Structure 1
Amino acid sequence: MSSRNVVGYHGTFEEHLDSILSDGFKPEKRKNHWLGQGTYFYTDKKLAHWWISKNSQTDPLKQKIKSNPVIIKANIEEKADKFLDLDSPEGVDYFYECIKNYSSAIKKLYLTDNEDINRCAIIDFLTRVYKWNVIIMTFEKNTHKPSYGKIDTITFDSKVIPLNVHYKETQVCIKDEKCIKSKEIEYPTKEYSYPKKIRFDYANN
C-alpha cells in the first residue's frame, strides 16, 4: 500500500510542549472546524506563527498564558487510502461519491446555512465510515482580508481591477497522531509582525 507524506506546522505555547511531546495533542472540539475534529497544521510555517501570535493577543483564554509561542514541525506519513486530498480533482470526486453513497444518513445530520458547520459534520460522519486520518484542503480568503495580508483583495477587485487573486491557506487535519513520524520544535526569533499594508487610492481608479 502506497503512502502520502506532508510536513505540517502547528502553533502552540512553550508551556504546552512537555504535555504534547509526552502525551500527544489534545485538540478541542468545535462544530465548525474546517475539516472536522482533529489537530490542525498549516503547510506554511509563517502562517502557523501568525496564528498562534494572533491568538495570544486576541483570545481571552490565551491572553492568560505567559509563555512564548512556539512552532511544532510535524512530519506526517499515512497510507494513501486514509488520506483525503481535497486539493486534487480525484479527491474532490471521491469525497462527493462518498456523500452520495451515504446521502440518506447525511440528510439526518444537523446541517445549517453555514458551510463550515456542514463540512465539519459531513467529514466527521464520513471519517467514521471510511477511516480517513489525514485531510488536506486549501482555503481561499475571498470574503475578507486576513490580517497577515498586505492588500484588501476583495476591495481591489470591486474598485480597481477585477483579478480574483486572493490569499490562500492550506490546512492539514489529522485524526490520530500515530501518523506523525517526528516532531521538531522551532522557536520563532521574534513575535509575528503584521506587514505594512499596500494602499490604493480606490476613489481615483
Structure 2
Amino acid sequence: MNKIEIIGFHATSQVNVDCIIRYGFIINTKRCNEWLGYGIYLFKYKVDAESWGQGAYYCRPNPKIIKCYVEVEKERYLDLDDPEKLNDYFKYYNELLVALSIENKVIEFKTKEEAMCWGLNIYKRIENIDVIKYTFTGNRTKKIMGYTKNKLGYKYNEVQICISRNDVIVKKEICS
C-alpha cells in the first residue's frame, strides 16, 4: 500500500506536552465547530502553530509545539485543496442533505463551522478517512507574528491537517 508522509506541528500548553508525548492525543468529540471534523489539528508550518499557541487561551501562558510525523495510507487521506476531491465532498454533502429532506428531517446549524464539522465527520466515517488537509486563508499568523503588510495582494494561508486516529502519528517530538 502507498503511504503518504506528513510532518505537522501542534500547539498546546506545557501541562499537556508530557501526557501527549507519552500517551497520545485526546480527540475531542464534544466540540461541534471543528472545521475539518473531530480530530487532532496540526499545522504544516511551525510558525502557524506558534501563532495559534500565542492566541489560544488553553495554550497559555507558556505554549509548546509538538512536531508530529504522520504516515497514512493514500486511500485514507483526503486533500481538500485538490479541486476534484473538494467537489466530490460537496456532492456527497449535498446528497446527504437531500436524503435527509426526503425523510422530512431538517438539520439546522448555528454556524458554518458546525455544518462543516457535521458533514466531514460523516464523510470520514463512511469513506474511512484518517487524515484531511485543507488550506485556509487568514491573517492570524500575520497579525500575531507581526509580519509585514502585504501590498501585492498575496494571501497568508494556513495549511491545516486533521488527524482522526492517534496511530497514524508514528513519532512525536517537542520543538525547541
Q: Deviations over 1:141-190 (max 9, x none)?
A: 28xx743353666xx7xxxxxx6532111100001011111112112xxx
Selected match of 1:119 from 116, 119, 122: 116
Q: Deviations over 1:113-161 (max 9, x none)?
A: 632221111001111211111000001128xx743353666xx7xxxxx
Structure 1 pair 121–106 and aligned structure 2 pair: CA distance change class (3 A): farther
> Which sections of structure 1, spanning at least 5 residues, go unmatched?
157-162, 188-205
- Structure 2 counterpart of 1:12: 12
Residue aligned with 1:150, SS: coil
Runs (4 or more) in structure 1 with deviation over 6 Å come to: none
On the 8 A contact 2:5/2:69 being kept in 1, the answer is yes
Aligned pairs, number: 171
Residue aligned with 1:26, SS: coil
Selected match of 2:163 from 155, 165, 174: 174
**Aligned Cα root-mean-square deviation (Å):** 2.6
Structure 1 pair 146–124 and aligned structure 2 pair: CA distance change class (3 A): farther
Residue aligned with 2:145, SS: coil
Structure 1 pair 75–20 and aligned structure 2 pair: CA distance change class (3 A): same
Identity within the alignment, %: 31
| Alignment partners' CA distance in 1, 2:118 and 2:149 | 31
Structure 1 pair 137–109 and aligned structure 2 pair: CA distance change class (3 A): farther
Structure 1 pair 62–179 and aligned structure 2 pair: CA distance change class (3 A): closer
On the 8 A contact 1:106/1:122 being kept in 2, the answer is no
Q: How does 1:139-178 map to 2 (within 5 A)?
A: 139-141=136-138, 146-148=143-145, 150=147, 164-178=153-167
Residue aligned with 1:4, SS: strand
- Normalised by the length of structure 1, the TM-score is 0.72
- Structure 2 counterpart of 1:85: 79
Larger Rg: 1
| Alignment partners' CA distance in 2, 1:126 and 1:14 | 33
